[in-house]
Amino acid sequence: MTKITAAITAVGKYVPDYILTNKELESMVETNDEWIVSRTGIKERRILKGENKGTSFMAIKSAEDLINKNSVDPKEIDLVIVATATPDMQAASTAAFVATSIGAVNAFSFDLESACSSFLYGISVASSYIELGRYKNILLIGADKNSSMIDYTDRTTCIIFGDGAGAVLLKPNSEGNGFQDEYLKTDGSGREFLQVPAGGSLKPATEETVKNKLHYARQDGQTVFKNAVFNMADVCEKVMHRNNLENNDIVWLAAHQANKRIIEATARRLKLEPSKVMLNIEKYGNTTSATIPLLLADYEKNLKKGDNVIIAAFGGGFSWGAIYFKWCYNS
Ligand code: UT7
């Protein structure tokens, strides 16, 4: 019997129009363009402006981009997963709203949250469903409105994060392309180093939490940095080794865009030439769940059928992992 794998067959993206440049940040906090570019590689990021626009707004736009470019019939979608760390609201599923808004009337849907690894884990979940034969058309969206949890007086976080969304469609593949293998990890002892302390069940909103700015993202940048560099390269190496892949066999590294130095250090450890490393951090900053689908959308024209791609992420939790994927189409 032919083995069925899950392959990405279409991609879409959306980034808000408003561009927050390093120059503008210089007028908001004590920082400068040279520091931001040399320490992070980021030149600008997008911010979603306007009342009543949450993560779902961007998720819907990215899904519509995919649907329109590829003439997808939303009625044929079986499942919509919204990978996000910034859902529209607590309790009500963002994915349910997105699925209904795009006309995926025959789909069920759910949100998947694991900080910056949300989209990576989403690929794992969607691929498993498809390999099991349970669903055939899964729309996986990575979307985050990070500006909703950023303190724009805190220079250690506000220079990094941006808003955006990307979408991919996963379908069964019988040619051997698509999902090949994964190595996923978590370590809850990392929770203290990257978090939004209040607003969840542990510390619900009070006057005090608002006054103490506990609804904003905080991180111990250096600790997160060190863990990201070591762990992301480690899981990539493990997945490559397990699949007998040498550096020359890898065509692309699609790594979470948190800091250009983290991505470059990972590539160096894997002995990958810089030309194999997807990068768009300079334009969008860290968009959490959206970085990987935004990369796939920006590099879609460069990706060729059969290309070996390593997709990797590291984020809050800590949560991290690597997935080995074979691209399945030429665009
Ligand atoms: O996506 C989820 C995972 N997140 C990450 O992966 C983020 C990982 N961490 C990082 O990317 C980096 O740690 C940062 C970009 C957050 C910070 O870069 P760094 O090279 O680790 O800087 P640092 O925290 O060691 O700070 C160096 C200096 C400090 O000044 P002193 O103590 O040396 O005088 C900071 O106060 O830079 C100062 N600094 C800044 N200066 C100008 C910190 N932020 C800024 C700023 N502009 N925005």
Find the 205 Cα to ligand 1 centroid distance in Å. Answer: 28
Determine the residue of 20, 225, 314, 320 to mutate for testing ligand 1's pocket, defined as the one with the most ligand atoms within 8 A of the Cβ atom: 225
Closest residue to atom 41 of ligand 1, CA basis: 31
| 97 CB within 6 A, ligand 1 | no
Does the global pTM surpass 0.95? Answer: yes
- Among residues 130, 135, 94, 129, the alpha carbon closest in space to that of 111 is found at 94
Find the 265 Cα to ligand 1 centroid distance in Å. Answer: 16
Helices vs. strands in the chain: H and E counts, helices first: 10, 13
Please list the residues that pair with 321 across neighbouring strands: 184, 313
Q: Say what the pLDDT of residue 139 is.
A: 98
What are the angstrom distances between the C-alpha of 283 and each of 44, 68, 142? 5, 24, 17
Q: Say what the pLDDT of residue 2 is.
A: 83
Q: What is the mean pLDDT of each run of 10 residues along the chain (331 residues)?
A: 93 98 98 98 98 97 98 98 97 97 98 98 98 97 98 97 98 97 98 97 98 97 97 98 98 98 97 98 98 98 98 98 98 91
| 225 CB within 6 A, ligand 1 | yes
Q: Say what the pLDDT of residue 120 is.
A: 98
Q: Which tokens in the block code for residue 73?
A: 């019939």
Q: Say what the pLDDT of residue 221 is.
A: 95
Three-class SS of residue 309? strand
Backbone angles phi, psi at 135, to 5 degrees: -135, 155
Amino acid occupying residue 119: F
Residues 266, 118, 7, 97, Cα dihedral to 10°: -150
Domains of the chain with CATH codes: 5-176 (3.40.47.10), 179-326 (3.40.47.10)
What are the angstrom distances between the C-alpha of 30 and each of 149, 158, 213, 260, 281? 20, 11, 19, 21, 22
Q: Which residues of 271-287 are buried (b: 16+ CB within 10 A; e: fewer)?
A: ebeeebbbbbbebbbbb
Closest ligand 1 atom to the C-alpha of 115? 2
Q: Say what the pLDDT of residue 264 is.
A: 97
Q: Say what the pLDDT of residue 119 is.
A: 98
| 161 CB within 6 A, ligand 1 | no
Host H or E run for residue 155:
none
| 325 CB within 6 A, ligand 1 | no
Q: Say what the pLDDT of residue 197 is.
A: 98
E strand segments, 217-318: 218-219, 252-255, 308-315
Q: Cβ distance 166 to 13 under 8 Å?
A: yes
Find the 297 Cα to ligand 1 centroid distance in Å. Answer: 29
Q: Cβ distance 291 to 165 under 8 Å?
A: no
